[in-house]
Amino acid sequence: MTTTPRTARTVRTEPPASPASDAAVALLTRLVDGGLRHIVLSPGSRSQALALVAASLERRGEISLHVRIDERVAGFTALGIGRESGMPAAVVCTSGTATANLLPAVMEADHAGVPLLLLTADRPGELRGIGANQTTRQTGMFAAHARASMELDTPAGAAGELNAVRAAADVAVDAALGRGAALGAPRGPVHLNLPYREPLSGPFGLPEAATIAETEESRRDRGRRPGSQQESLVSATAGAAAEGAATTLARGPRTLVVAGADAGAAAEQLAHEGGWPLIAEVVSGSRFGRNLAHGYRALLRDPDLGGRVERVAVFGHPTLSREVTALLQRTDLDVIAVDGPGERLNLNARTATAASLAVEPGETDRDWLGDWMRASHAARVDVDPPAPDLAGMASAVPAEHLAAIDAEVAALRTPLTRELLVDAVWRATWPHDRLVFGSSRLVRVADGIVPGKKVPVHANRGLAGIDGTIATATGVALASTDPGTTRVLLGDLTLLHDVGALLLPDDEPAPRLQVIVGNDGGGTIFDGLEVASSAGDDAMRRVMYTPQQVDLGALAAAYGWEFQRVTTRSALDQALSAVTARPVIVEVPLDR
């Protein structure tokens, strides 16, 4: 007798509930309550619950989600978002070396005072220290640089555990922004280490959008509750905040206003109100106004100008000239540093600090200001080509007509120099654009020659490294609400150091981004440092210049970027004003 074998029946079962997913919902929705609008995600298994909740929040329009395979790129992308928006972006990553790759961005955020949230998934405690896969000591990994560093309990589905998750989210946002009970603390990075057990994800639902929304007043009230982890932040920062009381400056001393990175418009305002000369680095956001001193390095070396300074008011973080550093190290001057987002400035070991500065009523020292402005006018650099000879072009005299044409053709064919490059980028950028400087030789050239102009400028000058420049600029572009273009001006090595940031997902909106690279084949910034006089040519080339011959056009094509190589000012002007559908690399070959 023949029997027909039975067909196995497929039994479909619902996936098990996951405390990890419930905790991820509680954490991310609470961060949205606190103002989070951007999440930068590097995929991984241990962080899958966070990733899936983030994707749901994106579909519902609660956040913008940016996926990057490289955690170092992800960290700097979030840094750029925080720089531009003033609100922290969250970086989500899996455990192990993924977490360690965030360190360069965390260090920059610490020293520059940029808000940043680090959400690092981890193995639970029972898997640590026994050789388990992809497991290391993540707790406190960033403690030296974080405004707050916490490990949450491993979710187990216990009653009340999600309230602790939400409370940690509240602490994280307030600490990153230096607000609430931590008011007066500098903004910066916050680390939440998040251990999860299997099942690492499961079914979940998001609360209604109306229940996610919360008023600013209620968030402040939460921050004042006694017993929260914010109290530990208060004790560490209350004294520092008290020292930074507002200060009114008397008019008597011969005063100079110095604006470093991220100083902003307040420096120009004080210089204007006090009638004092303004030294404004190109990365300061203060490089405008009637009192701006051009060619300030030479002016500071002049004993009749820099030698007569009696008091300096400092905004931001000056980093671009040794002359300013030497000035701020002088112990015979009164130096007052305005508290900014980053670490405090005290180069002469006696610098006073102030939360803000004002000027007492009175007359301007016109002689002091006049001396600086006359010297500034003489020091101005104009690299623009002369205006066309319209009379010669219209002349009926052949010799005059031909001479005018030859002069115009020669101007169009003039090879690009560093000075012409930085001038073109500066002139092409307007208040609705964003300009990001890499820590290359070009930023110092720009600082030496470009005129005053009120444009939004960013640069990673907290530690002045070349790390993550393109990723930072991408974050700036993603967070900008203005319709303009984000331009990043950098050297070839700075570009190559962050080449992974060129990889952008096809399913995300492309940022309006121009990467303008001055390519001189290596690190020519060292030409102006002591090493150039102490090392031989062979040693300089071997261990300092880092010579390279990368085909940047092929590199751009590999990553799907548009590419232009320009060699004249007219071609560069056209490239900078062009509208492109994709991000573009503009290569400018430069002589060593």
Contacts with 429 (C-beta within 8 Å, 6 or more apart), sequence order: 435, 453, 455, 487
pLDDT, residue 340, reads 85
Long-range pairs for 428-432: beta carbons < 8 A, 24 or more residues apart? 428/487, 428/573, 428/576, 428/577, 429/453, 429/455, 429/487, 430/455, 430/484, 431/455, 431/456, 431/482, 432/482, 432/483, 432/484
**pLDDT averaged over every residue in the chain:** 88
Using alpha carbons, select from 37, 35, 67 the residue that is nearest to residue 51. Answer: 67
pLDDT beyond 80 at 249: yes
Domain coordinates in residue numbering, the chain: 19-238, 247-379, 414-589
Q: For residue 472, name the pLDDT band (cuts at 50, 70, 90).
A: very high
pLDDT, residue 48, reads 96
Torsion sign across C-alpha atoms 528, 529, 533, 536: negative
Spatial distance between the Cα atoms of 460 and 582, rounded to a whole number of angstroms: 24
Q: For residue 2, name the pLDDT band (cuts at 50, 70, 90).
A: low
The partner residues of 292 in beta bridges, in order of sequence, read: 278
- C-beta neighbour count of 135 within 10 angstroms: 17
Using alpha carbons, select from 374, 375, 529 the residue that is nearest to residue 444. Answer: 529
pLDDT, residue 229, reads 26
pLDDT beyond 80 at 237: no
Q: For residue 235, name the pLDDT band (cuts at 50, 70, 90).
A: very low
Lowest average pLDDT, out of 21-30, 150-159, 233-242, 348-357, goes to 233-242
CA–centroid distance for 567 within its chain: 29
Per-residue HEC secondary structure of 38-53 comes to: EEEECCCCCCHHHHHH
pLDDT, residue 522, reads 79
pLDDT beyond 60 at 444: yes
pLDDT, residue 244, reads 45
* Matching fold, domains 19-238 and 414-589: yes
pLDDT, residue 227, reads 32
CA–centroid distance for 273 within its chain: 29
> For 86, phi and psi rounded to 5 degrees?
80, 0
- What CA–CA distances, in Å, run from 577 to 110, 114, 307, 428, 586? 35, 31, 43, 7, 12
CATH class in words for 19-238: alpha beta
Q: Residue 134 class from Cβ within 10 Å (0-12 exposed, 13-18 middle, 19+ buried)?
A: middle
Q: For residue 132, name the pLDDT band (cuts at 50, 70, 90).
A: confident
pLDDT, residue 16, reads 81
What is the pLDDT averaged over residues 486-505?
A: 97
Helix axis angle, 71-85 to 469-479, nearest 10° = 50
**Tokens 């002349």 map to which residue?**
395
Question: pLDDT (tens digit, 9 = 90+) per residue, 65-84?
Answer: 999 999 999 999 999 999 99
pLDDT beyond 60 at 239: no
Spatial distance between the Cα atoms of 592 and 126, rounded to a whole number of angstroms: 57
pLDDT beyond 50 at 226: no
Q: Are 29 and 206 in contact (CB under 8 A)?
A: yes
Question: pLDDT (tens digit, 9 = 90+) per residue, 286-332?
Answer: 999 999 999 999 999 999 999 999 999 999 999 999 999 999 999 99
pLDDT, residue 9, reads 59
Q: Residue 5 class from Cβ within 10 Å (0-12 exposed, 13-18 middle, 19+ buried)?
A: exposed
The beta strand positions in 377-512, using DSSP E, are 434-437, 457-459, 486-491
Q: Provide the CATH number for the domain formed by 414-589 in this structure.
A: 3.40.50.970
What is the pLDDT averaged over residues 350-370?
A: 95
Q: Residue 216 class from Cβ within 10 Å (0-12 exposed, 13-18 middle, 19+ buried)?
A: exposed
- C-beta neighbour count of 366 within 10 angstroms: 10
Lowest average pLDDT, out of 199-203, 389-393, 524-528, 558-562, goes to 524-528
pLDDT, residue 233, reads 27
Question: pLDDT (tens digit, 9 = 90+) per residue, 160-171?
Answer: 999 999 999 999
Percentage of residues in the chain having pLDDT higher than 70: 88
Looking at per-residue pLDDT, the higher value among 590 and 14 belongs to 590
Give the CATH fold of the 247-379 domain. Answer: Rossmann fold (3.40.50)
pLDDT beyond 60 at 534: yes
pLDDT beyond 50 at 219: no
Torsion sign across C-alpha atoms 140, 225, 79, 134: positive
Looking at per-residue pLDDT, the higher value among 214 and 180 belongs to 180
What is the pLDDT averaged over residues 321-344?
A: 94
Q: Which helix (H) or strand (E) holds 398?
A: helix 398-412
What does the DSSP 8-state code read for residue 439? S
Spatial distance between the Cα atoms of 335 and 328, rounded to a whole number of angstroms: 7
